[in-house]
Amino acid sequence: MSVSVTAAPAARRMDVSAPARNNGSASGLSVAIYLHDLAGGGVERQSLIIAEEFRRRGADVTLVLHRLRGQLLDQVPPGLRVVDLNSSRTLMDVPGLARFLRAKKPDILLSNVDLNNVAALLAKSISFSHTKVVICQHNPISISFAAGESRLYRHIAMAYRMLSPLITRAVAVSDGVAAELATLARLPKELILTINNPVVGPDFQARSMEPVDHPWLGSTRSGSVFVTAGRLVPQKDHETMIRALAIHRREMDSRLIVLGTGPRQDELVDLVARLSLTHAVDFAGFHSNALPFFREADAFLLSSRCEGFGNVVVEALGCGAPVIATDCEYGPREILDGGRYGVLVEPRNPAALAEAMDQVATLRERFPADMLRERAGDFSYAACASRYMAMFKALAPNQAWAASA
């Protein structure tokens, strides 16, 4: 199976059946990062970030994709090798991924997200390779979360239990997700490690200060402007946010900018029209850099039913924007430290969210921008990469890597 990377000129093509090469890795450590594609979500952004951080620390890194596609193709770091398995379904990745493990023999396979994690473990089982598989769980695996996902997702916990002997480590992006891996997937606690997502990098401040072109933002705005960002999927529960805006606007003149795309967009647009909010809600689509919107917002809103972590909450804090978020499982409460750094409200409760939105005029006084930016710094690229590299060192397959790490 060969690789076509014509859509990602920064990446370097790679044949999974070619002889393995070390490529001059300073550390002697080789890491393959496996994920679905390069769609514009938090997992995909994190994977590109962490790949570059690993390379800066001397690791030899390859990105392995189910499909070479997505809005982040142009953000692949220059020189990063990309393998396109080009399969029709995630579980069809298994044979190609197994061939990759046999041919390239990476020290670590870092897999991301649910079914991809299952595919990685199955590939390990038939490859007879010595690669250590580290799965990263970004979402809850509870029944309440699975209800909004595909049928296969409902069996993730059971799959992890059955395949647990093949799991070298399981990384959870929050303590809540870690607890589920222990209780629902019944993974031994010594295999589970919490590593929060990398969100704030060296270029964060510069990106946040880029100009934003939107008629509702800037010095000429009238009324308050809320901003949200995320895929338009049931998990994010934009319906509650839109209904909350309708309640809030009975007393106050506010508007909402929705960043992101997804399968629920038509339904949400219809809801906005039914609530006579067309003039007050703008579905602004996907933006590769949403930070300037957060900077200019009077407050950032998150109405999710559940989150594994919540990168956008950290991004909003990093821009000094007050945050109103649902107190859902699991990320927002951890990021906002129980309400110290933002407002937490009950999920699926438009009235509660509207009540918090009514306090928008006082939020910047309650949550000073400098305090929020300092909190966001706890979730830096460097902090995340250092924890991963410390884990890899503990799993070191040879003394050369352990001595140089």
The per-residue pLDDT for range 292-328, each reduced to its tens digit, is: 999 999 999 999 998 989 999 999 999 999 999 999 9
Per-residue confidence (pLDDT) for residue 397, from 0 to 100: 54
Q: What proportion of the chain, given as a percentage, has pLDDT over 70?
A: 88
CATH number of 30-198+381-404: 3.40.50.2000
Average pLDDT on 155-184 reads 95
What is the rounded distance in angstroms from the CA atom of residue 236 to the CA atom of residue 144? 14
Pick 204-379's CATH classification: 3.30.930.10, 3.40.50.2000, 1.10.10.10, 3.40.50.300. Answer: 3.40.50.2000
Matching CATH topology for 30-198+381-404 and 204-379?
Answer: yes
Q: What is the pLDDT of residues 202-260, one digit of tens each?
A: 999 999 999 998 999 977 788 999 999 999 999 999 999 999 999 999 999 999 999 99
Confidence of residue 356 (pLDDT cuts 50, 70, 90): very high
3-class secondary structure, 236:
helix
Per-residue confidence (pLDDT) for residue 40, from 0 to 100: 77
DSSP 272-302: HHHTT-TTTEEEEE--S--HHHHHH-SEEEE
CB 116, CB 51: distance < 8 Å: no
Q: Domain spans of the chain?
A: 30-198+381-404, 204-379
Per-residue confidence (pLDDT) for residue 17, from 0 to 100: 46
| Per-position b or e across 164-178, b if 16+ CB within 10 A of its CB | bebbebbbbbbebbb
3-class secondary structure, 180:
helix
The two beta strands, 224-229 and 299-302, are parallel
CB 248, CB 360: distance < 8 Å: no
Helix 114-127 vs helix 93-104: crossing angle, to nearest 10: 50
Q: What is the pLDDT of residues 80-136, one digit of tens each?
A: 999 999 999 999 999 999 999 999 999 999 999 889 999 999 999 999 999 999 999
Confidence of residue 6 (pLDDT cuts 50, 70, 90): very low
Mean pLDDT of the chain: 89
Cross-strand partners of 228: 258
Q: What is the pLDDT of residues 27-62, one digit of tens each?
A: 579 999 999 999 977 889 889 999 999 999 999 999
Q: Is the pLDDT of residue 24 over 60?
A: no
